[in-house]
Structure 1
Amino acid sequence: MQENVSDPLVGTLVDNRYAIKSKLARGGMSTVYLAEDQRLERDVALKVLHPHFSADESFVGRLGREAKAAAKLSHPHVVGVLDQGNDGHTTYLVMEYIKGHTLRDVITDKGALPPRLALALIDPVVEGLAAAHAAGFIHRDVKPENVLIADDGRIKVGDFGLARAVTTSTSSGALIGTVAYLSPELVLGRPADARSDVYSVGIMLYEMLTGKQPFGGDVPIQVAYQHVNSTVGPPSALVPGLAAEVDELVQWCTANDPENRPVDGSALLQELRHIRTNLTDSELDLQPPAALGAPHRGLPGTAGLPGTADQSAGPSHTEFIPHISNQTSVMPAGRPAPPPYQPAGNATAARNPTPAPRTGHTLTPPGEDDSPAWAPAPPALSKRAQRKADKDEEKARARAAATPARSLREGNPRRRGILWIIVLVIAALLATGAGWFFGMGPGAAAAIPAVANRTVAEAQQLLSDAGFRSTTSDVFDDAVPSGRVVGSDPQAGAEIRKFQPVSLLVSKGPQLYPLPQLTAGSLDEAKSALNAAGMALGKVTEQFDEEASAGTVLSQDPAAGTPARRGTAVAMVVSKGPEPIAVPSVVGKTENQAVDAIEAAGLKAEVAKDEVFDRKVPEGAVVSQSPANGTLTRGGTVTLTISKGPRMVEVPSFIGKQAGEAEQALRKLGFDVRLNKVLGGFFGTVRDQDPVDTEVPEGSVITLTVV
């Protein structure tokens, strides 16, 4: 949505190329405008940095390097970086213009989303981040405002590279980012990696499912404190009935320790799609309760923390925040903490303790066991753990029911002694066999050897020598040649029992996709087709073409339909339109000469029907042409006007008249006059005239003899 706010840059031309139409948005680092690229005649998003960033030469240089790197990232779910430059005090980035709205608009409009919609919206975001992580990029500022949803349904992640450039340009006492989605390690000033983006995705998914951000506060530092010192609660606390798998996904992404999160976007994408596939329709279509539209007062477990006041999921701007200093605190002396609760009775009693005052403890009646009167309440079980505990309890009850309470016949002691000896011998044999099985036999644990980049036969032999059985499965791989082993499942170095199978992943080579047809369309259409196919734009060459209009793609290399791997660069030849031809000048030449010269230049000559008199151009020669100069395209028409020569004029006699009068009259008739004065022409009278009383060409010389 465009902002109708007056701005001095609106209506100006940046770098003699980008005409700014309107202001789209303003953030903590830059202002975004809708502009027209006048060279390519297309709309683009022009991000202009705030003046204090543009004045920093080191930052501008770093931004240029980040922009060049981000421009190489071509993916259907990542906003493309098209250009970067400086125009005086204006530093700008040119990005692909996505006409539509942002994920923030969706959350603001709809509030909490059903799981099906939330997971469908987050899927392309994670896919785009996975591609970026694989290429070595980290976003650092993932938030709903940077997720763009086009009117045709395409979803893209924007602003790659900008947060990194600003972060590395600021002092060590501050960092850049949107505090509501900032990972704990970024708050603490520690190095960030792909797992920091994963954390931000988890916060964003929490907000999509609940309509609320997990942490809030009056000032950014309060929110940052909670990211470091609190844990994100399960979304089901606000949306009852939400699937346990969705809770676990959100809490896996938002773990405080990066080691407990998915390693990158690719790992998260696999789990996300696994969950979407395995949830039932009722779980996916769960409608959030209407009560979610009302403000809430914080999540369970956040009472007393800074910033747990009521909040709404309003727009989040990128902000500077200071690092948090975690100082050592002295805890007040008190009585020792009670020992862990040991439940008396069966598992059901442990999971369902007697209701007690809401003090966080349960009261065990004296005399039932040796535990203290007050003990901590057992932690709440997740839905998945609760179902497993129920099954274990049912099995335990079945075993207890199948075991007789007492024997029907006691037997004699001697027989029981023999039986005990037999039992002990059998137990010893079993123990010895088990020791061999798990110590040196097939049950022994061993590390899987490294088999990557080996032939299948070599890898199978290595696994056989290590005592493992192996199977093979084919996978696509861009780096490992076809027929060689990519790796193993489990991975090399993992310790498993030798009787467990190991799967060898054998490369089928890179996965190839047919290149799209790019010719006959415009360059912008070709770029969109490449982007949709996951291919990259190669070298673009321009040449003149007599038939194709300017901007039309004439050819591509490799050709359409050629199998190619993702990211293959496709070179294109683009038309500059018909070649301009200089119009030759043929004025004064004969008609035939003029026509030959014009046709030799690749143009068409056309002779005007009406000829004209001309005193200087002889009959049959070209008097004028249209156009007289400039350029035309091949086959353009030049119109020629032919001369009829000078006009024939009757010469009257001026003999006996004064020379001045005669000269003036003759010149009006278009003649040149020459005076031949005899004896100085004292009387000024015309004595003789040549020619006289006859028709001569206009412009002829009339000689007057004056006495």
Structure 2
Amino acid sequence: MSDPVAGTLVDNRYAVTSRLARGGMSTVYLAVDQRLDREVALKVLHPHLAADENFLGRLGREAKAAARLSHPHVVGVLDQGNDGNTAYLVMEYIKGHTLRDLLRERVALTPRLALALIDPVVEGLAAAHAAGFIHRDVKPENVLIADDGRIKIGDFGLARAVTSSTSTGALIGTVAYISPELVLGKPADARSDVYAVGIMLYEMLTGRQPFEGEVPIQVAYQHVNDVVGPPSDLVPRLAGEVDELVQWCTANDPENRPVDGNALLQELRHIRTNLTDAELDLQPPAAAAAAGLHQTEVLGRAGNPTTLMPPSRPAAPAYPPRQYRQAEANPTEQVAYHQRPGLTLPDDDDAGSGWSPPPPRLGKRAQRKVDRESEKLRAAAAATPVRTLREGNPHRRGLVWVVILILAALLATGAGWFFGMGPGAAAAVPAVANKTVAQAQQLLDTVGFHSTTSDVFDDDVPTGLVVGSEPAAGTEIRKFQPVSLLVSKGPQLFPLPDLTHGNLDDAKMALNGAGMALGTVTEKFDDQAAAGSVLSQDPAAGTPARHGTPVGITVSKGPQPLPVPSVVGKKGDDAVAAIEAAGLTAKVAPDRVFDRNVPEGAVVSQTPADGTLTRGGSVTLTLSKGPKMVAVPSFIGKQAAEAEQALKKLGFEVRRNNILGGFFGTVRDQSPVNREVPEGSVVTITVV
């Protein structure tokens, strides 16, 4: 289906190339920023929402909030604005695919690949949480994997600044990854994002989501009432540390999850470095990866299956952040925390029964940590000699320590200078827009930056002046990092399209496709061109012009209507001349008609009699044969009443002249009589 935005120029800057994706509130397009000559992702609010001031305000807040977040693993926001009825957000374009695409292809991943892919996602979330933002919609579709290997989390469109006023009961996010507190309408914080990461990691390892249902409300119900089981239920021999990591992230109570992305990132990297190659490269079973979660059917008393929600699984131990760190520091506390819940010790009466309480059960990860700590203690004890075999020279040892301290001081001083005042120091890129290249380079040299130049087209900045810089003005970078100056080549000129081969709508589409604007539209009559067709344009086709140049066009109104003159009663030649003088064509009907009022050879009627015709239209003229000749019979000696009736029937006008009052009513005389006269003539009768 065609897209009305594809192929247009938004805000006289962003040329829309194609549609990338469509969501509930907006559509994302691939566009070219013609000012900086680079590809961007253009997020356009749906038209029915663009008229809503609340949505426009939300879009503006999204742009301002997300633009403050700059991180290598977060998709950057570049611009925001409105173009008429189009509200848009400009984002960094990542060419590649999503984590969802990878999961569709491979179904499930090895722990090594899953942890490697989730690491930059958590790092990006950690940066967002540190800056005071939460994502609210972490899912594989929002994890972008570039063709060059970069991994970024995108669409902070639902993110909001975490302030004292951030507390919403709205259910925002994808139901498969939504946290229990959001389902219950409670405030969301960074731990809601951590929950979604845990669900996503479970899916990456097993090839399926922990909760599924026929309708979203069933999945939401399970998030609140069920517990995410260990991934090792579907992937046997999966390391216990990975099980504990997933269940720590997906604990129902937010207090039992990592406090934010940074806490999760530290533990994630600790696990990655301590797992063996065999544990990291464990291949998930194909059946477990491809299988889907079906509803559980339970037979009723009559033997009919009743469809139920998937049964709840028992809760696995989850580390609250504080207790978890304590357990890391003190293995005994970790053992106490892992003791089986609900275990009842025997009373004193059972002391002699031979029963003894089972030893506290450790998780695989905790047990390995205790083993590693014990091994370190044994190794340290074995490596410590009982006595010194060689005393050495104490003065020499002191000199060595002095040299070491001096070298350390020099290194610390050098590092302090390098990162404090030297090339490694951080500084803000100065504003260089609308300056000459020499002035911009001098400003950068003063701060300590090295610069390069690259030419770009720009419609507003004159040729030779600096449009801007990359990184942009105000960005803090190290002085040894290069700064590229974007130098204007002036407006980019494009040949105007030929608009004279179509109608007005075709001309508008051609102008939009060429990035030009529609100028003044003039209408005029034209006998040859159909109404609505374009007759001419100004400037002419092929003229070089910058994007957004208005082009005036002249549109045909069709043939000009001409009034039909009335020529009834005129002689035939005069009538034909009058019709042709009006721009019309006269046609004389082959048959003439009698008419008592119109002389012979004159026009009796015309078709059409009035109205308008286009130039060259035809008017048919009917000419008169003059009045019809009728014989007048004699009524002398007959009664006057009879004579009058008969004469009128023949079409004559009767005039009566009474003598002595016309007492007898007899016609004594008549004029004319016994000859032919024109129809309608007057016949006089004398009555006595």
Q: Please give the TM-score of this superposition, normalised by the length of structure 2.
A: 0.52
Matched, 1:669 2:587: no
- 1:581 is aligned to 562
Matched, 1:76 2:6: yes
What letter corresponds to residue 666 of structure 2 in structure 1? T
Q: Which of 349, 360, 379 in structure 1 is aligned with 2:318? A: 360
SS of 1:666's equivalent in the other structure is helix
* Worse-matched range after superposition: 566-575 or 600-609: 566-575
Matched, 1:623 2:581: no
Distance 2:658 2:99 in 1: 115
Structure 1 residues 292 and 645: CA distance shift in structure 2, 3 A: farther
1:466-615, aligned counterparts within 5 Å?
A: 466-615=447-596
- 1:231 is aligned to 136
SS of 2:27's equivalent in the other structure is helix
Q: Deviations over 1:388-414 (max 9, x none)?
A: xxxxxxxxxxxxxxxxxxxxx999999
Distance 1:448 1:649 in 2: 114
Distance 1:442 1:374 in 2: 47
What letter corresponds to residue 696 of structure 1 in structure 2? V
Q: Which of 334, 346, 349 in structure 2 is aligned with 1:374? A: 334
Matched, 1:679 2:639: no
Cα distance, 1:450 vs structure 2: 1.6
Cα distance, 1:416 vs structure 2: 8.5
SS of 2:52's equivalent in the other structure is helix
SS of 1:457's equivalent in the other structure is helix
What letter corresponds to residue 450 of structure 1 in structure 2? A
Contact kept, 8 Å, 2:49 with 2:55, in 1: the verdict is no
Contact kept, 8 Å, 2:327 with 2:333, in 1: the verdict is no
What letter corresponds to residue 334 of structure 2 in structure 1? W
What letter corresponds to residue 360 of structure 1 in structure 2? A
Cα distance, 1:297 vs structure 2: 9.6
Distance 1:617 1:706 in 2: 33
Distance 2:566 2:547 in 1: 55
Q: Which of 415, 425, 446 in structure 2 is aligned with 1:465? A: 446
Structure 1 residues 210 and 606: CA distance shift in structure 2, 3 A: farther
Could you list the runs of 5+ residues in structure 2 that have no partner in the other structure? 11-17, 37-41, 66-78, 82-86, 105-132, 164-203, 229-252, 281-314, 339-389
Q: Which of 598, 604, 624 in structure 2 is aligned with 1:643? A: 624
Matched, 1:249 2:153: yes
Q: Which of 22, 27, 33 in structure 2 is aligned with 1:125? A: 27
Cα distance, 1:78 vs structure 2: 8.2
What letter corresponds to residue 500 of structure 2 in structure 1? T
Q: Deviations over 1:415-457 (max 9, x none)?
A: 9888887777777666666655555554444433221111222
Cα distance, 1:482 vs structure 2: 2.4
What letter corresponds to residue 249 of structure 1 in structure 2? I
Contact kept, 8 Å, 1:472 with 1:506, in 2: the verdict is yes
SS of 1:516's equivalent in the other structure is coil
Structure 1 residues 297 and 247: CA distance shift in structure 2, 3 A: farther
Matched, 1:295 2:253: no
Distance 1:369 1:333 in 2: 20
What letter corresponds to residue 153 of structure 2 in structure 1? L
Structure 1 residues 125 and 140: CA distance shift in structure 2, 3 A: closer
Structure 1 residues 529 and 243: CA distance shift in structure 2, 3 A: closer
What letter corresponds to residue 164 of structure 1 in structure 2? E
Cα distance, 1:551 vs structure 2: 2.5
SS of 1:374's equivalent in the other structure is helix
- 1:161 is aligned to 50
Q: Which of 664, 676, 679 in structure 2 is aligned with 1:695? A: 676
Distance 2:225 2:553 in 1: 55
Q: Deviations over 1:36-59 (max 9, x none)?
A: xxxxxxxxx9xxxxxxxxxxxxxx
Structure 1 residues 346 and 230: CA distance shift in structure 2, 3 A: closer
Cα distance, 1:700 vs structure 2: 1.9
Cα distance, 1:696 vs structure 2: 2.0
Contact kept, 8 Å, 1:615 with 1:646, in 2: the verdict is yes
1:182-331, aligned counterparts within 5 Å?
A: 231-235=136-140, 248-250=152-154, 252-257=156-161, 295=213
- 1:274 is aligned to none
Distance 1:679 1:232 in 2: 123
What letter corresponds to residue 50 of structure 2 in structure 1? G
SS of 2:28's equivalent in the other structure is helix
Distance 1:293 1:558 in 2: 64
Structure 1 residues 473 and 359: CA distance shift in structure 2, 3 A: same
SS of 1:594's equivalent in the other structure is helix
RMSD: 6.1
Distance 1:624 1:601 in 2: 18
Q: Deviations over 1:471-510 (max 9, x none)?
A: 1111222332222111112222333343332211112233
Could you list the runs of 5+ residues in structure 1 that have no partner in the other structure? 2-44, 46-73, 81-116, 143-156, 169-174, 177-181, 186-192, 212-227, 260-285, 311-330, 378-408
Structure possessing the higher radius of gyration over alpha carbons: 2
Cα distance, 1:614 vs structure 2: 0.6
Structure 1 residues 674 and 166: CA distance shift in structure 2, 3 A: farther
Distance 1:159 1:509 in 2: 37
Distance 1:247 1:512 in 2: 37
SS of 1:585's equivalent in the other structure is coil
Cα distance, 1:685 vs structure 2: 2.8
Q: Deviations over 1:356-411 (max 9, x none)?
A: x94234999x999756642999xxxxxxxxxxxxxxxxxxxxxxxxxxxxxxx999
Structure 1 residues 208 and 684: CA distance shift in structure 2, 3 A: farther
What letter corresponds to residue 295 of structure 1 in structure 2? G
Distance 1:438 1:545 in 2: 77
Structure 1 residues 578 and 586: CA distance shift in structure 2, 3 A: same
SS of 1:688's equivalent in the other structure is strand
Task: State, as a whole percentage, how many aligned pairs show the same letter.
Answer: 53
Distance 2:616 2:539 in 1: 34
Contact kept, 8 Å, 2:8 with 2:512, in 1: the verdict is no
- 1:216 is aligned to none
Q: When the two structures are aligned, how many residues end up with a matched partner?
A: 458
Contact kept, 8 Å, 1:140 with 1:197, in 2: the verdict is yes
Contact kept, 8 Å, 1:553 with 1:575, in 2: the verdict is yes
Distance 1:426 1:548 in 2: 92
Contact kept, 8 Å, 1:535 with 1:568, in 2: the verdict is yes
Structure 1 residues 606 and 617: CA distance shift in structure 2, 3 A: same
Structure 1 residues 442 and 578: CA distance shift in structure 2, 3 A: same
Structure 1 residues 258 and 699: CA distance shift in structure 2, 3 A: farther
Structure 1 residues 674 and 348: CA distance shift in structure 2, 3 A: closer
SS of 2:622's equivalent in the other structure is strand
Structure 1 residues 308 and 554: CA distance shift in structure 2, 3 A: farther
Contact kept, 8 Å, 1:556 with 1:571, in 2: the verdict is yes
Cα distance, 1:652 vs structure 2: 2.4
Q: Deviations over 1:561-589 (max 9, x none)?
A: 44444444444333332222221111111
- 2:686 is aligned to 705
Contact kept, 8 Å, 2:528 with 2:559, in 1: the verdict is yes
Distance 1:232 1:199 in 2: 19
Structure 1 residues 568 and 207: CA distance shift in structure 2, 3 A: farther
Contact kept, 8 Å, 2:607 with 2:620, in 1: the verdict is yes
- 1:28 is aligned to none
Distance 1:368 1:650 in 2: 139
Contact kept, 8 Å, 1:77 with 1:127, in 2: the verdict is no
Contact kept, 8 Å, 1:140 with 1:164, in 2: the verdict is no
